[in-house]
Structure 1
Amino acid sequence: MRFLFLLQIGLAFLLYIGCGPATAQLSSGAPVVISLQTELLNLSVPGVYVEQVIDARPTAGPLGLVVRGLNSTLREVDLQQGLVPELAGLLHNRLPAGGARPVVLRILSVGVAEAPVGNFRVQMAAELSAEWYARQPDSTYYLLCRTSRTTQHISSAEPKNSHMANLGALLEASLQQMAGVDWAAQQAANPRCEAAALRRRLPTQTYPIQSEERLRPGVYNNFFEFRYNAPGRPGNVQADARAYQTAEWQGLRAVSPFMLTPEGQHVAVEQAWGFCDGQQLYIRFGADYYLLEKRGTAFLFFAPALYNNNNTLLFNGGPPKHAYSLNLFSGLTTNYAGPSGLISLNKEGLVTHLMVYRRRQKNAPPLPVQLNGQAAGELREGDYLSLPWHDGNQPVRLCVGTEACLELTPSFSEANYIEYQPGAPASLQLVPAREGKTQVTRMAGR
C-alpha cells in the first residue's frame, strides 16, 4: 500500500506540475474521506462539555483539495460525517456532560493542504481557527477565547493519517487554550450575544496575504502561514539569486534563502514552504524557491517545466520557464490561470515579461506602476519590476507615476526591457534586450 502511494505521488507530481497547459488538465474524482473518531483518545479537559458545534465559515465546503493517482485526479478532502456531526460526535464522546459547564465551539476556518517537497515526500498541513463561547443561565453567550493555529508534518506515508492527526492536534490545542482562560474575567469583559448571532456565517473576505499592505518578513512553514501573512519563523530573511543561463528563462531566477541572526550569522532556510524578505514573496517548488507575484486576486510564479514541448523529460540545457498559479483555497499549484484565476493562457500557451527598471537616483521616492490602468506594483530607484504578460499580439499601456506612459506590443520571443528615466524626453523607453538584461542582472545581484 505504501509503495503504491509513493508511486502515485511521484508520477502524479510529475504529470501535475510538469506538463504544458494542454496536457496538465486535472480531472475530478471521488473525495478523500477522513475520520477523527480515533483522535483525542487521551484528552483531558475537566469541567467542560461541548454542547454544540457551529460551522460559521463563509461557505460550507470541503477541507481542501488534493491530487491523487496516475491521472492527476483532483479530489476533495471531506470528513466522514461532515464537519459539524464529526466534531460534535467526537467531543461528546471525549468530554462527558455530567456536572460539567456547557460551551459552544464556533468554527471560523478549517482546512488541510498538501505540497510535494521532493524525494517522494509530501508536507501535510492543517489550520483551525475557532471561537469558544460559554452559555449563561438566560441562554445568552459570552466569548471565552479565539484560537488560531497551523501545523504541518512531512512524510512519505499515505497522507490520510497525517491529516487526521494534524486536525486532532489542532482541536486539542484549541480546547486546552479555552480551558486555561479566566472565565470570570471573560464574562465581565465581553458582551452577551444571542444564539442566532453565533449561527450567522462569516462574510466572504479576502485573505490577509491579499489585503494587508505590509508583508511580514520571515519563513513560512506551511501554506496556511503564507495565506494569513503570519510567518511561523519571523525574522530577517535574505536571498542569494541564481540566474539560469538560457534566453528562454528571461532573467527570472531561483534563490537560496538564509536567515540573518542578530549576531550577523547566515543560517540556511530548510524545510520551508516559502518565505518573505519584507518586500517580495517566494514559494518553494521542487528543490528551489521562486518569486511569487500577485496578479489581480491570484498569485503567479515561474519555475522550470519538467517536460519540453515534445513531452519528453528535460535533463540538460537549462530549464525553460513555465507559469504556475497558486490556489489560495487549497494551496495547489496549477498552470497559470490568469489574474482572475479563471482565464486560460493565450492559444500558444506563451508568457513573456515586461522588465521595468530604474537606475539609482538619490532620495527618489518609489513610483506606482500600472498595466492597462491596473496597479502592478511599485518601482524603486536602483531596482526593477518583473511584470508577466500573456495576451499575445495585444498592445499594453505601461505607466510609471502619473505622467510617464508607454504603449507597446510585447515580444514573446524574448523579455521586454523598459527603462524609466525621469527628465528624459521620453521617460519610458524600450531598450535592446542585451542592454536591459545587463542592467537588471546588476540590480538583482546587489
Structure 2
Amino acid sequence: MKTRFFLLLFLALYSVAHAQTPIYQVSLREQKLVVDKAAFHITEVLDLRVQRQTIGWVQRGMNNIRIPANLQGGLQDGLGGWLQMQLPPRPGSRPVLLRVHELRIGEVTKATSEKATASVDVDFVVQQPDGSYQVLQRYIEEEESKGLETTGHHDDNIAACLQRICVQFNALDWAQRLALSPPLTKEQVYYRGGRRPVPYDYAILTAPAPPMGIYGTFLNFRNNQLAPAADLVAEATDEPGEVDAYQGSGAARKALDEVWGFSDGQQVYIKRKRHFYALKRAGDDFTYTAQSMDDPGVINTAGALAGVAGMAIAAVTTHGDRQEYTLDMATGRVADFDYLELLTRRDTATVVVYRRPGGPAAPLTVLLNGKELAALPANDFVLIPWTSKTREVSLCLADTDGACYSFIPVFGATTYVELKARTAGEKPLLQYVPQKEGDYYVKKMRRR
C-alpha cells in the first residue's frame, strides 16, 4: 500500500512539475543527417515563419497538459548550427541558404495511444556572383510517430523530414532549376513577403514610463494617451502579477471598472475579467501571465478599443493552469500562441462603409486617414481592403465637425461602418454596426 501511495505521489509531483514548465525545448543534438557525397553546404538559416514564438505544443504529465514548445537555440542558431555541423563544407560543395517557411509539431491523444506529428516547409536559395539570389527548390515534408508517450519523438520526426529534404535536394539538377528561377534581391529573399517589415513606432513603445493614470481603450494605451488619476490604489491578490485596483479612499473608494488598463506610475496593467495583470515588454509587443480561461472565446481585450465589439478571442483549452498571453500591438488582441498563429495568417481585413437609402440626395465625402476615399450617395457602399497592421483605420466625413471614427479592423473578417444621414437636418456620423446587420444591408445593395 505504501509503495502504491508513493508511486501516486511521485506521478502527481511529476505532472505538476511539467505543468509549470514555461516552454518545452526540442533538441536536435542527438540527431544525425546522412547525405551521401553532399554537393552542398548550408551557410545560413533564415526564419520566414508567420509566427515565431513556438513550433507548436506538447502534452506533459498525467493530465496531458498542453505546453508551448520551441526548438532549442531557435531556428537561425539552433537549427542552423546543427545543419552546419551535419553538412560541413567539403571540396566542391556549393553554399546555399535554407529558408524556413514553416516548422510545426503537434500531439494527438487517443484512448490508448498518442501521435506526434511534424511538418517542415523549406526552400534552398543560392546567391549568384552578381549579388542576386535564385530559389532552387521548395520542399514540404511531414512525419508522424505513435506510442504511449510521444513527446520525446519530436526530434526524430523533425530530423526525418530534413533527412528526406536534403537527400532530394542533393540529387537536384541545378542548371535546370536556375534556368527557370527569376533573380531576387536580398530583401526579397531575407524577408517574408519580399519586403522589410515596418518597425512599430507607437507612442507607448517610445515614451518614458507613464505616470499614474487610466487607459480607457487599447488605442489610448497604444497612443500613450493617459487620463491622469492621482488616487489609484493597486492591491496584490494571491496570484503573481495580478492586482485589484481601486480609485478614491474611505467611503468614496470604489473598484476601478469600465477601463482597458491603468498605470500606477511604475507598472502598467491590463484588465482581464475582474482583475488587472502586469504587462511586460516583449519586443514590440507586451505579455502577461494569468490563469487560462475556462471557456474559449470569452476574452475581448479589444472590446472597448474604439467601439469595435464582438472581437471574441480564442482561448486555450486547459482549465486553471497559468498561461502566458501576448498583447498584439498591431491589432489590440490578447491571445495565446495558437490564436496569434491564426491571426497572423490572415493578411487582409475588410472594412465596408455603407449608407442606407433615404436622407439627403447629395453624396457625402468619406476620408480615409485624411485622404478622400469616396463620395458616398444614399443606398451605396465602399469596400476597403486593409493590409497594414501598424496603422489604425481613421474614417472622417469631409466638411463636418468631429464626424470621425477610428478603430483597428479584425484581420480575416469584415468590419462594417454605417454612414448615418437619415434627414437633411441630422448631423451625419460614422458608426460601427454588428456584422450581421452590415451583411444584411450591404447584400440588399448588391442586389440592386
Q: Which TM-score band applies after superposition, normalised by the shorter structure?
A: 0.3 to 0.5
Using the size of structure 2 for normalisation, the TM-score is 0.40
Identify the structure with bigger relative contact order (alpha carbons < 8 Å, sequence gap 6+): 1
Using the size of structure 1 for normalisation, the TM-score is 0.40
